Amino acid sequence: MLNIVIFGAPGSGKGTQSARIVEKYGLNHISTGDVLRAEIKNGTELGKTAKSYIDNGQLIPDALMIDILASVFDSFKDSKGVIFDGFPRTIAQAEALKTMLAERGQEVSIMLDLEVPEDELMTRLIKRGQESGRADDNEETIKKRLVVYHSQTAPLIDWYKNDGKYCHINGLGTMEGIFADICSAIDKL
Ligand code: AMP
């Protein structure tokens, strides 16, 4: 199986590129942000808990996220592989993912780090907020999410380097150009 972690700050293009990867390689897609937004929309208990964190630009507690991830992963049957979009976001989540995959005889094949400069992230997210109405894409919450990214999520770059799975992708450029770089990294596997 091809298990890909797509990584990057909010607004780096993870969702957009994931959709293309899914289409080309026939993978299953887990976007933890999409899972949480669906729970909020459906008014579930989990959704209510998640909303308070999301609206505040904070991360949902690891234990909760890890359970959600395992149950979505196990719902895929005869999968060719999975793209993990928005997970892991902490070292504890990366360790849990490694353990969960190992228990199923699998591993992360590659971690793709979409790097985009901070001013560009801000521009993209504000635009996305205006177009999609996503509640956490407002300037105040975006700033908090970027602080959380730097303090809790960016340390995963070194974690995946140590694990031998890290691959840097320049996230600035055309959607097609970035996708071509991603495909050449995947095709080398
Ligand atoms: P995203 O759509 O990936 O940008 O996620 C939107 C929000 O959902 C984040 O700002 C977090 O509050 C929450 N979230 C998504 N994925 C995770 C995760 N792996 N761990 C903790 N919180 C998450």
Q: What pLDDT, in 10s, does the model give residues 68-120? A: 999 999 999 999 999 999 999 999 999 999 999 999 999 999 999 999 999 99
44-61 residue pLDDT tens: 999 999 999 999 999 999
Per the DSSP assignment, residues forming a β-bridge with 81 are 2
What's the number of CA atoms in the CB half-sphere (13 Å) around residue 8? 26
155-172 residue pLDDT tens: 999 999 999 999 999 999
The protein residue with its alpha carbon nearest to ligand 1, atom 11, reads 59
Active site residue 20: no
DSSP string, 99-141: HHHHHTT----EEEEEE--HHHHHHHHHHHHHHH--TT-SHHH
The protein residue with its alpha carbon nearest to ligand 1, atom 8, reads 33
Residue 141, pLDDT > 90, answer yes
Any atom of ligand 1 within 6 Å of the Cβ of 8: no
Active site residue 145: yes
Count of domains observed in the chain: 1
CATH number at residue 88: 3.40.50.300
Contact 30, 87 (CB under 8 A): yes
> pLDDT grade, residue 133 (50/70/90)?
confident
CA 86 to ligand 1: nearest atom: 3
The protein residue with its alpha carbon nearest to ligand 1, atom 2, reads 33
Q: Residue 87's closest CA among 182, 15, 170?
A: 15
Q: Residue 95's closest CA among 59, 58, 62?
A: 62
Mean pLDDT of the chain: 97
Catalytic option among 127, 128, 143, 165: 128
Percentage with pLDDT > 90 across the chain: 98
Any atom of ligand 1 within 6 Å of the Cβ of 76: no
Q: Which two tokens stand for residue 166?
A: 């890290």
Instruction: Supply the range of the domain harboring residue 139.
Output: 2-187
- What's the pLDDT score for residue 171? 98
Any atom of ligand 1 within 6 Å of the Cβ of 32: yes
Query: How many CB atoms lie under 10 A from the CB of residue 86?
Result: 22
Q: Which two tokens stand for residue 101?
A: 């995959």
Phi and psi (nearest 5°) for 5? -95, 120
Per the DSSP assignment, residues forming a β-bridge with 170 are 115
Tell me 87's DSSP state: -
